[in-house]
């Protein structure tokens, strides 16, 4: 099924940053493989937005901040269960930079997220407290956009949460599956697809757009 991209559609490129690429501190397997495809897809979209995971060095999501805890264990916080991660995307470090292999000069916005020390933010729309907004929904509404097409890293965390919040916010959301890669910790990938399907998020291969 071919989808005709319109000038109102937006490509949301999630967290294509060195710490999520091979060699990074929270490397997503095959994360680098999506970059040429993301570049190609971006040529079809007039509107492209990036998200950028952007944490202070003492961020609450880092296992290093919790005595006796290891990465991928969980803790309970006020806002719910938090997975603990290796230190990653610390602001002003190379790991936090967007990949220089992204070749999308017409991208219009970079939304940073996760900069509040005590709140994680997988979603590009709102932080994990489900209250603090990033401003992305307001930006998109003001720009009068149509559908959102989401790509990037990682499928089961920042891509999924961004897609879910977009759908909850009333946007028509599609994830382009082969332009994502997953962390897949403890069944998180299967769960993410189930959640997205239940929320009405569409799932397509890139050939539906590229032909
Ligand atoms: C992400 C875990 C922690 C992601 C960000 O971009 O999917 N995952 N921070
Ligand atoms: Zn993070």
4 confidence band (pLDDT: 50, 70, 90): very high
Helix, strand and coil in the chain, % to nearest 5: 25, 25, 50
Residue 127's SS3 state is: coil
The model's pLDDT over 128-176, given as tens digits with 9 standing for 90+, comes to 999 999 999 999 999 989 999 999 999 999 999 999 999 999 999 999 9
With CA atoms as reference, report the closest residue to 12 among 206, 170, 189, 148: 148
Give per-residue pLDDT as tens, 179-209. 999 999 889 999 999 999 999 999 999 999 9
From the candidates 32, 113, 156, 165, give the one annotated as an active-site residue. 113
Give the C-alpha separation, 126 to 133, whole Å. Answer: 4
Domain boundaries, the chain: 10-55+89-210
Question: Is the CB of 182 within 6 Å of ligand 1?
Answer: no
Q: Which residue has the tokens 């539906």?
A: 208
Classified by CATH at the fold level, domain 10-55+89-210 comes out as Rossmann fold (3.40.50)
DSSP track, 31-60: GGGGHHHHHHHHTT-SEEEEEEE-B-TT-T
Q: What is the per-residue burial (b if ≥16 Cβ within 10 Å, else e) of 32-56? A: bebbebbeebbebbebbbbbbbbbe
Strands 74-77 and 80-83: antiparallel
Residues of the chain above pLDDT 70, percent: 100
d(CA 38, CA 179): 6
Q: Residue 111 pLDDT more than 80?
A: yes
Specify the pTM.
Answer: 0.98
| Cβ 18 vs Cβ 99: under 8 Å | yes
CB of 161 closer than 6 A to ligand 1? no
Average pLDDT of 16-25? 98
Cβ of 158 less than 6 Å from ligand 1: yes
Give catalytic status of residue 69 as yes or no.
no
Q: What is the position in ligand 1's atom list of the atom closest to the CA of 20? A: 6
117 as an active site residue: the answer is no
Catalytic-labelled residue, pool 53, 87, 120, 158: 158
Give residue 144's pLDDT: 86
pLDDT tens track for 41-91 = 999 999 999 999 999 999 999 999 999 999 999 999 999 999 999 999 999
The tokens of 89 are what? 């995307």
Band (pLDDT 50/70/90 cuts) for residue 15 is: very high
Evaluate the omega torsion of the peptide bond into residue 154 and state whether it is cis, within 30 degrees of 0. yes
- Ligand minimally distant from the alpha carbon of residue 154: 1
Asked if residue 1 has pLDDT above 80, the reply is no
């Amino acid at each position: 099924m071919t989808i005709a991209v319109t000038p109102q559609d937006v490509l949301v490129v999630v967290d294509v940053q060195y710490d999520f690429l091979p060699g990074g501190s929270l490397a997503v397997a095959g994360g680098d493989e999506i970059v040429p495809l993301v570049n190609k897809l971006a040529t079809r979209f007039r509107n492209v937005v990036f998200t950028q995971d952007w944490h202070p060095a003492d961020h609450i999501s880092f296992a290093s901040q919790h005595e006796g805890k290891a990465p991928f264990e969980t803790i309970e916080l006020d806002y719910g269960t938090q997975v603990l991660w290796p230190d990653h995307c610390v602001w002003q470090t190379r790991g936090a930079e967007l990949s220089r292999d992204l070749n999308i000069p017409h991208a219009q916005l970079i939304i940073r997220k996760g900069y509040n020390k005590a709140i994680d933010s997988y979603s590009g729309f709102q932080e994990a407290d489900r209250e603090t907004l990033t401003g992305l929904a307001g930006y998109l509404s003001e720009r009068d956009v149509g559908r959102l097409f989401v790509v990037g890293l990682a499928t089961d965390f920042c891509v999924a949460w961004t897609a879910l919040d977009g759908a909850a916010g009333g946007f028509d959301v599609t994830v382009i599956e082969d332009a994502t890669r997953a962390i897949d910790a403890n069944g998180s990938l299967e769960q993410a697809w189930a959640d997205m399907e239940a929320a009405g998020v569409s799932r397509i291969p890139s050939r539906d757009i590229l032909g």
